[in-house]
Amino acid sequence: MSARKSDRGPKRDDGSWQLTEPHAGMAQGMVVSGYDHLPTGEALFLEFAWDRHQRGGAWLAALNAIAPVTPADGKVPRSVSLSLSWTGLARMGLDQRALASFPQAFREGMYQRDRMRRLGDTCDGQWSDCVIPTGPRWSGNTPQLPPEDPASVPPGQVDGTTPITVHAMLLLFTATDAEVAAWSAEVEQALVPQGVHVVHRRPIALHKGDDGIVREHFGFADGMSQPVPFDPDATVPAAAVPNGWNAVALGDVLLGHINGHHDIAAGPVVPIEPDGRTAAAGLPRHPRAGDAADFGLNGTFLAVRELLQDVPGFWTALTREAARLRTEDPHGGDVIDATWLGERVIGRCMAGDALRANGPLPRNDPATPDNEFGFYDDDQLGYGCPIGAHMRRGNPRDGLAQRPDQVRTLREAANRHRILRRGRKFGPPIADRMVDDGVERGLLFLAINTDIERQFEFIMQTWMMNPNFATLFDEADPLVGTATPMSLQAKPLRRKAHLENFVKLAGGDYFFLPSLPALKYLELL
Amino acid sequence: MRQTTSSIALEVKPDSEALLLSLIARLDRPDAATQPAMTKTDLLARMPSLHFFSLTVFPRGVFDPLFVIEANFDGPAGPFWPQLEAALGPQLRPMIACCKRPADGCGPLYDAVTAPGSRRDLAPYLQTRAGKPSVYHHGNRGMSRQRVVNEAALFSAVEAELDAAGQVAQTWRILPPADIHARLREKLLPQFAWLAQPAPARKTLGEKLGDWVRLAVLVLAVLVVLTLPGQIAAGLVETDRLVIAFVLLTAIVWGSLLRIAGPLEGTATHGRTNLLNFAWRQIFKILIALAVFFAVAMLVVTPTTVAISHLSWREAVIPSARALGWGIAAMVVIVLPALVLWLRWLERRDSTQDAPTIDEAVMRLMREREDHTPINHMAAMIPLKPGILRTVLVHVGHRGLHLALRVFIKDGYLASMRTIHFAHWAFVNNGARMMFLSNYDLSWETYFDDFIEKAHEGLTLAFGSGEGFPPTRLLIQDGASHGTLFKAWARHSMTVSRYWLAAYTDITSDQIERNFRIAAGLRQPTLTPESAAQWIVDL
Ligand code: HEM
């Protein structure tokens, strides 16, 4: 342990970062904070139940009176975050040119035919086993264009329309359960007269353990690995920690800043109108379009997926599979049990430490699992953290390098696809992980990124669902992928586990998380 | 086994474009009434050497539409075209009739094969019209189609053996690697008799030597041209004046270069590699190459001096060495930097396209066809920047890139990526444009992100001569590092791959090499404990 301390000590990166003004006052708080001190809350999914002609931002004024959206400039006793789907923005009457200036992924939504296929949500035109059998319950219901080539669509292709339409997602974060109940009732009451209905809701909680660690429902410590954005003009610290494992350009997290590909992360624009709405909202002029204001600056996109977790299903299947692996391995299999296998599915042990061939990765700081590591040096072949483990597929770090001279390039390349994970749990923690209590629970997966295609979708398609990830063959992510074999690298010979899917998509879409000035502009519509 | 990559680019009669597109579309959806259904399996059986085949129509723009037939196959081109004709002749003939009659001597042949009801062989026409790529890359060089397929089947059989349940599985876990190898071989030999034969060489010695010789000739030719100015000056001017001119020119070239070498505002990407540090890293190779060049060139320059000066052989040595020495010094210190200066001067004036028009319908059509299988196809067309320097650079550069890929890429890896099966560039429209066709692994997004992040210098070198490319600096800097700009530019240069025939669609380039390693191990009757331990990692 001490060896690690001395060789990595000076470069350590504790992962904390802040925005500087004016950006801190413009961006929404959830970009910079997971609200560790606000462990309870609720997600309200809103539909604008207006007639065809109604539009505008009056509802935002009403919301503002009781739940003003929180900026990123300090610690608050309770917090609000608001994001909108493309259909939500369209219903509010945002200008056509503005709507068209959003990136294609957001304009098309998560259920565009080709996207569903690439995300692994459909297979041969049918919902895959990563989705609840009835198909997702809610989305923005973005209108879809007919295919250019009808023959490219498999017969019986599901269309991505969901029973519930969500125009906006409101997240309330509070310190106690009682507080959130009262507050969300108040919010709902204020919105109903505006024709804005809560069509779906989920509690969002951290449920920290007694040890102060947040665990997702299966029981694994979660939220350890996050990218740390830097920008010479907008963050503290202003520069990446040299050789930091988690450094990303701020433009990968917030629009309007330089991104990992050395360009300004381009966001949407709104026309500058004579009525001075853009000026009143405080939207700056767009750097490229002379007659337009920058609607994106300090805003970003959220990939939202409501994922149901079948906890007893997961552990029962792992128990069965572990028993099978054990009988196949009469001489070395005693260590194999459900927990052992589950830890390999994730790539970290239950307490959160990355797996290595001879036990968990030693900690630098005794209080928290380490996140300053690669794979190339001490686990290239996956004898500790299997090559196809969820954590390794989610962020291969330098693990795809073949030679020492590629390590730096590959680490930097992997970091250009990172997402800031702000997901929270819904549903109560399970009492016994083997016993079905009939209660729905899961993860409201929220990923912040500015380039949906290069970040969220890339991770899903190229890493999570890629059957050939890292020279594996015909496997998928063992946690969120379809039923799959999983190679568990070992000496003398790899084991192969057969896993099913217990994490299913129940709803979701892409949302725009506007800056506060952009919200002001919407309010003035 | 040697592989061939070839493409035929035919200008389309503008009024026949729609017909051509519908003829191509019918290949995938034959009209049962007029054509017997021909499945892809049938076609592949008729073309047993084919790996990948595509038909693309680049839409009109500054030029008329261009119909491109791309084929990647085993062995030489000669036998392939008749195979293609046997498989797809009746379908290709009317497509060729949609294209213009060539203006060169091929006209009568065109008439003969496109005449209504013609039964003349198509193959000769295809063969005369086939172009030679300027650069091609084979990610799994030397792996014939049959071998790719055989070794993939072997891989499945190995996996099935290892994953058989119960007692069998138990035995695998207690054996040392060398025994696992021996048992697997014993079990699989009856089914895969070829395991008993030695593996065919992927590259022959002749091929390897040929690649080296071609590269050496190119390097030599370039050095001759670049050292000429110094050599001629040394022949004409006295040493003292030469020194003055040398110093003056050096000062002018380097002064100007230093003044404009920096990035234009807002275009720097702070990459780690530039021409200078790249050259520095290769300094030993460069010095050796120059020494060899000196020695070889002396063998040519000395007799030349004798011939033109009436000096004796002995007397000619010193002036020859002097001329060559000045030639090399001037090349390194003045000529090359002057060319770089010229290039930089051009770069600073280049138009880069910030918002290339992307036809959303075409884009949707491309996306609808992508990512159904792990292997995908792309086709792009890139107009070239004008001017003599750019033209020379791109042609010499392509030749150099081609030979360097042949000589130095031994394991299929480009930088740290092995995602290409068959890719090639070719100049079309009399050199006004170059096209790029690739059969690659993973999605388009990934394929390009990978190159942007892991090999942007190479990408800038290879595509930077294209019009509208993001701002480049000193040949390899910036450029493709502007990932967002570059991807938009690349997407806009692409068009729909209208028809694609692939002998395998789910064996990635990486997997082919994995299967190759497994098979190579199983071909050995026994493995040492060390090599078995190495070999077993791939199972
Ligand atoms: C219910 C579903 C999911 C569960 C229970 C889950 C659980 C976990 C856990 C326990 C970790 C390791 C802890 C950490 O590194 O923070 C992790 C990491 C990660 N997960 Fe998930 N996850 C889920 C869904 C997803 C999805 C859908 C994605 C898709 C993009 C994803 C992407 C990631 C990424 C990128 C990491 C971080 C890897 C790293 O940086 O080392 N997860 N997840």
C-alpha A166/C-alpha A87 separation (Å) is: 8
C-alpha A147/C-alpha A281 separation (Å) is: 39
pLDDT in tens, B97-155: 999 999 888 899 999 999 988 889 999 999 999 999 999 999 999 999 999 999 999 99
Q: What are phi and psi of B318, to 5 degrees?
A: -65, -50
One digit per residue, pLDDT tens: chain A, 525 residues? 333 433 333 344 566 789 999 999 999 999 999 999 999 999 999 999 998 878 889 999 999 999 999 999 988 999 999 999 999 999 999 999 999 999 999 999 999 999 999 999 999 999 999 999 999 999 999 999 999 998 888 889 999 999 999 999 999 999 999 999 999 999 999 999 999 999 999 999 999 888 888 999 999 999 889 999 999 999 988 887 766 789 999 999 999 999 999 889 989 999 998 778 999 999 999 887 788 999 999 999 999 999 999 999 999 999 999 999 998 888 778 899 999 999 999 999 999 999 999 999 999 888 889 999 999 999 999 999 999 999 999 999 999 998 898 898 899 999 999 999 999 999 999 999 999 999 999 999 999 999 999 999 999 999 999 999 999 999 999 999 999 999 999 988 999 999 999 999 999 999 999 999 999 999 999
C-alpha A55/C-alpha A73 separation (Å) is: 31
| Nearest CA owner, ligand 1 atom 33 | A394
Strands A164-165 and A138-139: parallel
CA–CA–CA angle A484, B439, A416 (5° rounding): 65
Contacts for B292 with CB less than 8 Å, ≥ 6 apart: none
Beta-bridge partners for B99: B12
| Nearest CA owner, ligand 1 atom 26 | A480
Above 80 in pLDDT, residue B79?
yes
- Position A1 scores a pLDDT of 34
**Long-range contacts of residues B151-154, Cβ cutoff 8 Å, at least 24 apart:** B151/B512, B151/B515, B151/B516, B151/B518, B151/B519, B152/B504, B152/B507, B152/B511, B152/B512, B152/B515, B153/B192, B154/B188, B154/B192, B154/B195, B154/B515, B154/B518, B154/B519, B154/B522
Name the least confident of B34-38, B245-249, B253-257. B34-38
Alpha helices for B68-204 (secondary structure H): 80-97, 107-114, 123-129, 145-163, 167-174, 177-188
C-alpha A393/C-alpha B105 separation (Å) is: 57
Dihedral sign (CA A491, A493, A499, A505)? positive
Q: What are phi and psi of B236, to 5 degrees?
A: -100, -25
B505 touches chain A (CB under 8 A): no
Q: Chain A contacts of B273, Cβ < 8 Å?
A: none
Contacts for B361 with CB less than 8 Å, ≥ 6 apart: A148
Residue from A465, A523, A475, A473 nearest A499 by CA: A475
Domain ranges of chain B: 1-131, 145-199+514-538, 205-248+265-333
**Structure-block tokens of residue A207:** 């449920």
Out of B365, B416, B537, closest to residue A381 by CB: B537
- How close A472 gets to chain B, by Cα (Å)? 8
C-alpha B72/C-alpha B148 separation (Å) is: 14
Beta-bridge partners for B499: B55
| Cα separations in angstroms, A294 against A275, A287, B24, B315, B484 | 17, 8, 45, 76, 18
- Measured torsion, CA atoms of residues A66, A71, A72, A73, in degrees rounded to the nearest 10: -100
C-alpha A494/C-alpha A485 separation (Å) is: 12
- The 3-state DSSP class for residue A412 equals helix
CB contact under 8 Å between B415 and A409, yes or no, is yes
Contacts for A341 with CB less than 8 Å, ≥ 6 apart: A318, A321, A322, A325, A497
pLDDT in tens, B43-63: 999 999 999 999 999 999 889
The average confidence (pLDDT) of chain B is 92
A41 in Cβ contact with A268 (< 8 Å): no
pLDDT in tens, B375-420: 999 999 999 999 999 999 999 999 999 999 999 988 888 878 889 9
C-alpha B457/C-alpha B489 separation (Å) is: 16
- Position B1 scores a pLDDT of 80
C-alpha A113/C-alpha B367 separation (Å) is: 10
Q: Chain B contacts of A149, Cβ < 8 Å?
A: 365, 368-369
C-alpha A300/C-alpha A249 separation (Å) is: 14
A390 in Cβ contact with A365 (< 8 Å): no
Out of B162, B365, B445, closest to residue A453 by CB: B445
B264 in Cβ contact with B348 (< 8 Å): yes
Asked if the peptide bond before residue B470 counts as cis, ω within 30 degrees of 0, the response is no
Out of B372, B441, B453, closest to residue A468 by CB: B441
Q: Chain B contacts of A327, Cβ < 8 Å?
A: 170
- How close B152 gets to chain A, by Cα (Å)? 11
B174 touches chain A (CB under 8 A): yes
**Structure-block tokens of residue A388:** 């196809």
- Closest residue in B to A380 (Cα) is B537
CB contact under 8 Å between B449 and A454, yes or no, is yes
Above 90 in pLDDT, residue B360?
no
Inter-chain CB pairs, A–B, below 8 Å: 140
- Measured torsion, CA atoms of residues A380, A385, A388, A390, in degrees rounded to the nearest 10: -130
pLDDT in tens, B163-199: 887 777 778 888 999 999 999 999 999 999 999 999 9
Burial of A271 (0-12, 13-18, 19+ CB in 10 A): middle
CA A12 to chain centre: 25
Q: Chain A contacts of B175, Cβ < 8 Å?
A: 492
Contacts for B245 with CB less than 8 Å, ≥ 6 apart: B233, B237
Out of A262, A402, A453, closest to residue B481 by CB: A262
Q: What are phi and psi of A289, to 5 degrees?
A: -90, 115
Q: What are phi and psi of A137, to 5 degrees?
A: -85, -30
CB contact under 8 Å between B170 and A330, yes or no, is yes
CB contact under 8 Å between B364 and A145, yes or no, is yes
Residue from B471, A476, A28, B247 nearest B239 by CA: B247
Residue from A303, A302, A284, A304 nearest A294 by CA: A284
Alpha carbon of A219 to ligand 1 centroid (Å): 13
% of chain B at pLDDT higher than 90:
72
- Position A5 scores a pLDDT of 37
Amino acid (1-letter code) at residue B121: D
Q: Say which CATH architecture domain B1-131 belongs to.
A: 2-Layer Sandwich (3.30)
| Nearest CA owner, ligand 1 atom 24 | A480
Q: Is the pTM of this model over 0.90?
A: yes
- Closest residue in A to B486 (Cα) is A261
Alpha carbon of A392 to ligand 1 centroid (Å): 9
**Structure-block tokens of residue A378:** 């001490």
Q: Find which of A230, A263, A471 to mutate to test the B interface (most B CBs within 10 Å of its CB).
A: A263
Ligand 1 contacts (CB < 6 A) are A 216, 218, 220, 222-225, 305, 307, 309, 346, 348, 390-391, 394-395, 419, 443, 445, 456, 459-460, 464, 479-480, 503
Q: Chain A contacts of B170, Cβ < 8 Å?
A: 327-330
Q: Which helix (H) or strand (E) holds A59?
A: helix A58-66
Strands A228-230 and A484-488: unpaired
Q: For residue A347, which atom of ligand 1 is closest to its CA?
A: 12
C-alpha A42/C-alpha A40 separation (Å) is: 7
Residue from A334, A435, A347 nearest A391 by CA: A347
- Closest residue in A to B156 (Cα) is A473
Q: What are phi and psi of A240, to 5 degrees?
A: -65, 145
Strands A228-230 and A247-249: parallel
**Long-range contacts of residues B57-61, Cβ cutoff 8 Å, at least 24 apart:** B57/B12, B57/B17, B57/B20, B57/B21, B57/B24, B57/B495, B57/B498, B58/B379, B58/B381, B58/B435, B58/B495, B59/B17, B59/B362, B59/B495, B60/B14, B60/B17
- Position B483 scores a pLDDT of 87
B367 touches chain A (CB under 8 A): yes
CB contact under 8 Å between B484 and A259, yes or no, is yes
Alpha helices for B354-437 (secondary structure H): 360-369, 388-408
Dihedral sign (CA A229, A231, A236, A242)? positive
Residue listed under structure tokens 């997290």:
A253
**Structure-block tokens of residue A442:** 């899961």
